[in-house]
Every structure is written in structure tokens, then in C-alpha cells.
A = this chain, B = another copy of it.
Amino acid sequence: MDCKRTVFFISDRTGVTVENLGHSLLNQFEGVALDCFTVPFVDSVERSHAVLNKINIIASLTQQQVIVISSLVNPELRALFDHHDHIVHMDFFSTFMPPLEQALNMRARMIAGLTHGIADERRYDERMEAVNFALSNDDGITEKNYHAADIILIGVSRSGKTPTCLYLALQYGILAANYPLTQDDLDHNQIPKMIAPYRDKLFGLTIDYKRLSRIREERRPHSKYANPLNCDFEVRTAESLFKRYNIPNLSTTNRSVEELAAAIMQMKNLSRRS
């Protein structure tokens, strides 16, 4: 391809879902240069026309079809992007609603804004409470809430515990605490006293020592803390601890927080809170 293609992700809500899905589709095409625009909250005729105008201009300038991946509940708004020669329009609702209506033997309501908002206040508050829990039980600050935790992540400093806890809280409402394996813990090579009573809740995070060294180097350049040999020692000792006590664990080296959280939920057989 010698020319960039333009993609619009259009949603009547946040656009995050359609954007994620769109990228997972587009990533399957190698070497295509893309200009992507995400337009959230397209929930009125005015807003739809504003986006459409932008698309028309781009299509005319680039002399290429613009790809529109949309998630618009309102059929009227959706239709505005249909039947243009310069637009390839793929919409989730119009594609999946008919088979779903048939399967459920029922008509869809087609009302925008039914998800992602605070549909259920208590459920939403629980999710936010989980965020507070993750924050106040980060980095072994206190042990007094470990009994309430759904899970306690353990690992060496910078192995990815904090962001994983936060994502578990935000996405799944899970009460996730974490405990950092310190030099002292590693020297003793046994489960630290503070977390010993909660064996069933422990989940280990490990990481390739070279990647760990790079991450720590950003924090404290040229320190023993970031030294590859020291990182190697810490990681190996932590891993042997996981093995000895049979603590399930995952490497964070090539896994995003999204993947880690989903895998932890599965391995520990946890369910979304609510």
C-alpha cells in the first residue's frame, strides 16, 4: 500500500469497546498504514453529521474509501453512514442484532446508553471500593485487610503487582492486595510471616530479569537495585519460593495487565464481583 487508509471508530458511548475490537481486526493486516480516529458519544443527529462531514472531507482529499467501524444503537444515526460509495461501514448492532433477536425470539429495544454507565449504583460502587482497596493495600502497606482480599499478588519490586491489582479492581471489582518480596524475604527463602496465613490467596508474579533490570534502571539508574545480576538473583529466588510452596504464578514479561488479570481470574477461579 502506498497510501494511508483512514479508519473511524464511532460509538454512542465511550468508544473503547469498538476501538479495541477494531484494532484486533486491523492488526491482522500487515504493513497497512492507518490513520485512526475514535469518536465517542455520537448520540445525536448533529454529532453524526459532524463526523460524517469530517469523513467526507477526508475521503475526498485522500481519494480513498474511509473505513467506519461503529457501534450505534440508534438505527437512524447508523443509517447516515450507510450507502456512501466512499465509506465502508461495519456496524455491530445492525450485524449482530438480527441473529440475536431471532435466538431470543424477541425484539431489541434499541435504546442507547444502557451499558457502561452507572446502571447499577451498588455494583458500580463496589467496583470503586475495589479500587480504594487496591490503593490502600498496595505494596504491603498494611496487613490488616489481607483477610478481606480476594487475592494477594506477590513478587519482587517492579514485577507488575500494582497495575495488575488496579486493573483487577477497575475491570472486575476484585479486592486485590499485594505484597512485595523484599531482600529480607528472599534471604530467608520462606513465605513472609505477614502473608503466611493467606496461602490460598497468594498468586506470584515473575519477570525476565533483563526486562526487570531495564524497568528498574528507569527508576534508579546504575543502582544495585537495577543491576542485572541482582535482578537475576531476586527473580530466581522468588521463583523457587513459588515452586516450593506451590504458589500459582505467571510471568509479566510479555503479558499486559489486561492479559494478566484475565489469566489470574481464570487460574484462581475468581468471578466478577457484584
Contacts and interface: CB of A to CB of B under 8 A. Distances in A.
Chain A, interface size category, equals: 35 or more
Given A67-B100, A104-B5, A266-B41, A30 B109 contact: yes
A96 interface: yes
Interface stretch (A18-26, A51-59, A183-191, A198-206): A18-26
A73 B24 CA distance: 9
A196 interface: no
> Interface centre among A28, A92, A258, by most B CB within 10 Å?
A28
B259 A116 contact: yes
Given A25-B92, A41-B266, A92-B21, A16 B125 contact: no
A114 B256 CA distance: 12
A50 B21 CA distance: 25
Interface of A is mostly: helix
B24 A114 contact: yes
> Interface centre among A23, A88, A258, by most B CB within 10 Å?
A258
A80 interface: no
Interface in A113-146: 114-119, 124-125, 128-129, 131-132, 135, 138
B99 A28 contact: no
Given A131-B163, A135-B162, A99 B109 contact: no
A27 interface: yes
A167 interface: yes
